[in-house]
Chains A and B, each alone.
Chain A
Amino acid sequence: MKKFRWQIIAVLLVVALVGLLAGGCGGGSSSGGKDTVKVGIILPLTGSEAMFGEMEKNSFELAYEELKAAGKTTVGGKEIKLMYEDDQGKQDVAKSATEKLVNQDKVNMLSGGYSSACTNVIAGSAQTLNTPFLVVTGSSDDITKKGWQYVFRGSAAPASKYTISFWDMLEKVVKPQSVAIIYENTDFGTSGAKGFREECNKRGIKIAFDQAYEHGAIDFKPMLANMRSTNPDMIFATSYVMDASMIVKQMKELDFNTKLFVGNGAGYTMPEFYENAGAATDYVASTALWVPNVTWPGAADYFNKYKQKYGKEPDYHGAQAYATMYIIADALGRAKDMTNTGIQQALKQTDMMTIMGPIKFEDWDGYTNQDRPNTYVVQWQKGKLEVIWPEDVKSASYVYPAPKWSER
């Protein structure tokens, strides 16, 4: 009987091994020969981030179709082929996906990367494997601060730089004496809060309240009540969409008035924010990387096309993916050869206009291959997201200070 047990184990092991090998061969043969240029794209297509992953995948496809119609998906006689991998929002899986794309599917370059954790891991592996990687969304500062030559970030800003135009507006309009900072306890949240905090200290603005909360919390009232007692001129919040809606709704319920509530992008600019929180969103401002009514060529077109094709409104995540596809096609079109260094150099020399604004990979302020981001300040006004700063691209005038809840 024991003998039998061992036989079974041996058989199982052999089956697993054969499976591994077969999986390897299968993947290899299906990848379509030598006349394609393969771009591996790693996105969260399942799991809690799937909504964004799907939006980015759709946007990649949309851009690819447009490029194809313009004949730009064939470079040097080879067709660009997009290969998607699902990272499930887990970093182990992101690493597996990277290994598979580079070592087995032999992709020429990588793109994608939604959450900061997954993007970190993909970036590290890509650098190790000398494979160019163009980040779509991952915004952790560290990713482009390691001096990694093969890692590029174009359409995404480092989290601590989301606030450039916002500071311009604070200096010229708001001039706050004291601020409150709240943020979700994630890489994105802490990076964003850290950048803002350092800037406040530099400018001598008093930080009256500074607290992290657990991502996905339900009851923000104790935190909001504590914050109210410190009476800040302005609130700066970094949250994803569900938390963002809860926070502003509960502020309304508590009749907590503040001159200006500013969200740090993410949840505060999404259509779902207004759908969930309704009138409580009025006069909430936010930093933003992109809005459909921004003046860059093609932005409004992209928004309308996406809405028509997929029946949903895209937000800046989709725009990042769309712009990234154009950057990839541009770089591959210019690359001397399809080797890792050839593509790396072509990316490095990128200088083009996209719906996210001009893209150029530069080394500055400790960053490597990082585009200088264009940022905006937007404000919800009667359910519409208006650009209020910088003033030369504004779509509506700012409302400051925000009227009290009782006077609306």
Chain B
Amino acid sequence: MNMLNKKFLLTIAFIILAVLIPVVIKAPYQLHILILIIIWAIIGTSWNLLGGYAGQVSFGHAAFFGLGAYSAGLLTLHCALSPWWGILLGPLVAALAALPIGMICFRLRGPYFALAMLALGEIFRLVFLNLTDFTNGAKGILIMPAITNKMFYYYTGLGMLALTLLATYLIVNSKIGYYLVSIREDQDAATSLGIPTTLYKNLALLPSAFFTGLAGAFYMNYVAFIDPNIVFNLTNVSVMVILVVMLGGVATTWGPTIGAAIYIFLGEYFRTTLGSANVLIFGILVCLIIMFLPNGIAGELDLLKRLTQRKKASLSGGV
């Protein structure tokens, strides 16, 4: 009870902190970095629900991200509607696209889902690249954003992230969540207990796709330019989200958010300070973190704690 209370209070403190940041940091550049962190935190949290809790690793979340982004972009291109309508449409389109994939792949064991998702992301990229009449192809969609106030994007994004975290938290701490973890740990045992595994894997995939689509639609509104090679990108979206979650901590509530914050912030920091070696050094650092903290920063807190405590102990021993 006490612990739960503490956790609750800290969450409230975090929310207040997040809400107050723009009051302290008014500089648009810093807000821009925070907005990027929020976008990646949303994608990471969505991926984590499926890949972390349910253990169904997706190598193609770019498919959902891109569909969300293109839903917003195409509304503007063809219907002359504000791309903000994409915030409503994008997540639905992404979830709809996830449905058949889940229905087919989740019947199978092994790497089929990972491979199917990998293919799905690439298929969407190629389709959107070649349907030039509908999507503008590689020329992409360029819009002039109606709202340019960074504060607005920050709070909208923050609201979306809160929604994503809340939905994930509720799912994970409900019966569904326990089922998902049991499927991840031992699918045979789960089946023998009467858990309909295919159904519950789908129940993890749909919200995951939904919120990734939401992030995509928000991205289109914020960055104001997309093309298929950007939003359906295998390395810069699908693999990057996995890195973000691994850095932060797989199957933890706050892991993806921490991962996104570290990933984006360090990436930008290195880029502006280290010159041409920035990508190399950043890559080495990510490798080191993944090697020595395989459960991510939020997942290895016990280890970090033990390390700091041992240090303290030896210090006091020396004295």
B166 interface contact, C-beta 8 A: no
Pick from B7, B32, B265, B297 the residue with the most CB of A within 10 Å: B32
A174 interface contact, C-beta 8 A: no
The B-contacting residues of A in range 58-103, CB under 8 angstroms, are: 85-86, 88, 90-93, 95-96, 99-100, 102-103
In the bound complex, what is the Cα–Cα distance between A205 and B254 (angstroms)? 61
Chain A contacts of B159 at CB under 8 A? Answer: none
Chain B contacts of A6 at CB under 8 A? Answer: 6-7, 10
Closest to A141 in B: B139
Chain A contacts of B139 at CB under 8 A? Answer: 116, 140, 142, 187, 190-191
**B223 pairs with A95, CB closer than 8 A:** yes
B29 interface contact, C-beta 8 A: yes
Whether A99 touches B301, Cβ cut-off 8 Å, given contacts A10-B10, A189-B138, is no
**B265 pairs with A19, CB closer than 8 A:** yes
Choose among B27, B33, B138, B265 the residue that contacts A186 (Cβ–Cβ < 8 A).
B138
A9 interface contact, C-beta 8 A: yes
A307 interface contact, C-beta 8 A: no
**A86 pairs with B276, CB closer than 8 A:** yes
**A5 pairs with B301, CB closer than 8 A:** yes
**A92 pairs with B223, CB closer than 8 A:** yes
Whether A212 touches B130, Cβ cut-off 8 Å, given contacts A86-B278, A100-B272, is yes
**B144 pairs with A127, CB closer than 8 A:** yes
Choose among B7, B17, B276 the residue that contacts A13 (Cβ–Cβ < 8 A).
B17
Choose among A9, A91, A96 the residue that contacts B33 (Cβ–Cβ < 8 A).
A96
The A-contacting residues of B in range 137-193, CB under 8 angstroms, are: 137-140, 142-145, 148
**A85 pairs with B272, CB closer than 8 A:** yes
What is the minimal beta-carbon distance from A46 to any residue of chain B, in angstroms?
Answer: 5
Indicate the size class of the contact surface on chain B.
Answer: 35 or more
In the bound complex, what is the Cα–Cα distance between A88 and B145 (angstroms)? 24
A47 interface contact, C-beta 8 A: yes
What is the minimal beta-carbon distance from B263 to any residue of chain A, in angstroms?
Answer: 11
In the bound complex, what is the Cα–Cα distance between A27 and B3 (angstroms)? 42
In the bound complex, what is the Cα–Cα distance between A124 and B230 (angstroms)? 16
In the bound complex, what is the Cα–Cα distance between A9 and B6 (angstroms)? 13
Chain A contacts of B3 at CB under 8 A? Answer: 2-3
In the bound complex, what is the Cα–Cα distance between A91 and B36 (angstroms)? 12
Digitize B13-37: 1 where CB-to-A-CB distance is under 8 Å, 0 elsewhere.
Answer: 1100100010001011110111010
A12 interface contact, C-beta 8 A: yes
**A190 pairs with B137, CB closer than 8 A:** yes
What is the minimal beta-carbon distance from A66 to any residue of chain B, in angstroms?
Answer: 24
**A128 pairs with B276, CB closer than 8 A:** no
The A-contacting residues of B in range 106-132, CB under 8 angstroms, are: 129-130, 132
Choose among B29, B132, B225 the residue that contacts A121 (Cβ–Cβ < 8 A).
B225
**A88 pairs with B271, CB closer than 8 A:** yes
What is the minimal beta-carbon distance from B26 to any residue of chain A, in angstroms?
Answer: 10
**B30 pairs with A187, CB closer than 8 A:** no
Closest to A7 in B: B10
**A187 pairs with B6, CB closer than 8 A:** no
**B140 pairs with A95, CB closer than 8 A:** no
A45 interface contact, C-beta 8 A: yes
Closest to A90 in B: B236
**B138 pairs with A128, CB closer than 8 A:** no
Chain B contacts of A146 at CB under 8 A? Answer: 142, 144
What is the minimal beta-carbon distance from B249 to any residue of chain A, in angstroms?
Answer: 10
In the bound complex, what is the Cα–Cα distance between A140 and B30 (angstroms)? 29
A185 interface contact, C-beta 8 A: yes
**B304 pairs with A16, CB closer than 8 A:** no
In the bound complex, what is the Cα–Cα distance between A99 and B32 (angstroms)? 7
**B138 pairs with A9, CB closer than 8 A:** no
Count A-B contacts at CB 8 Å.
143
In the bound complex, what is the Cα–Cα distance between A91 and B17 (angstroms)? 29
Please report the total number of A residues contacting B with Cβ < 8 Å: 56
In the bound complex, what is the Cα–Cα distance between A212 and B7 (angstroms)? 56
Digitize B39-75: 1 where CB-to-A-CB distance is under 8 Å, 0 elsewhere.
Answer: 0000000000000000000000000000000000000
Pick from B6, B13, B262, B301 the residue with the most CB of A within 10 Å: B301
Digitize A35-54: 1 where CB-to-B-CB distance is under 8 Å, 0 elsewhere.
Answer: 00000000001110010000
In the bound complex, what is the Cα–Cα distance between A350 and B146 (angstroms)? 30
In the bound complex, what is the Cα–Cα distance between A13 and B148 (angstroms)? 27
In the bound complex, what is the Cα–Cα distance between A155 and B273 (angstroms)? 30
A8 interface contact, C-beta 8 A: yes
In the bound complex, what is the Cα–Cα distance between A12 and B255 (angstroms)? 12
In the bound complex, what is the Cα–Cα distance between A224 and B25 (angstroms)? 57
Chain A contacts of B269 at CB under 8 A? Answer: 19, 23
A104 interface contact, C-beta 8 A: yes
In the bound complex, what is the Cα–Cα distance between A120 and B73 (angstroms)? 15
In the bound complex, what is the Cα–Cα distance between A189 and B227 (angstroms)? 14
Closest to B280 in A: A46
Choose among A92, A96, A128 the residue that contacts B148 (Cβ–Cβ < 8 A).
A128
**B271 pairs with A104, CB closer than 8 A:** no
Whether A12 touches B138, Cβ cut-off 8 Å, given contacts A23-B269, A91-B225, is no
**A91 pairs with B223, CB closer than 8 A:** yes
Digitize A6-38: 1 where CB-to-B-CB distance is under 8 Å, 0 elsewhere.
Answer: 101110110011011101100100000000000
The A-contacting residues of B in range 200-232, CB under 8 angstroms, are: 223-225, 227, 229-230
A260 interface contact, C-beta 8 A: no
Closest to A189 in B: B138
Closest to B236 in A: A90
In the bound complex, what is the Cα–Cα distance between A126 and B140 (angstroms)? 19
B305 interface contact, C-beta 8 A: yes
**A142 pairs with B142, CB closer than 8 A:** yes
**A124 pairs with B225, CB closer than 8 A:** yes
In the bound complex, what is the Cα–Cα distance between A12 and B265 (angstroms)? 12
A237 interface contact, C-beta 8 A: no
Contacts A16-B265, A190-B138 known; 5 new A-B pairs at CB < 8 A: A9-B254, A99-B32, A128-B144, A128-B145, A187-B139
Chain B contacts of A189 at CB under 8 A? Answer: 138
A117 interface contact, C-beta 8 A: yes
B246 interface contact, C-beta 8 A: no
A1 interface contact, C-beta 8 A: yes
Closest to B309 in A: A4
Whether A99 touches B258, Cβ cut-off 8 Å, given contacts A2-B7, A45-B276, A92-B36, is no
**B140 pairs with A187, CB closer than 8 A:** yes
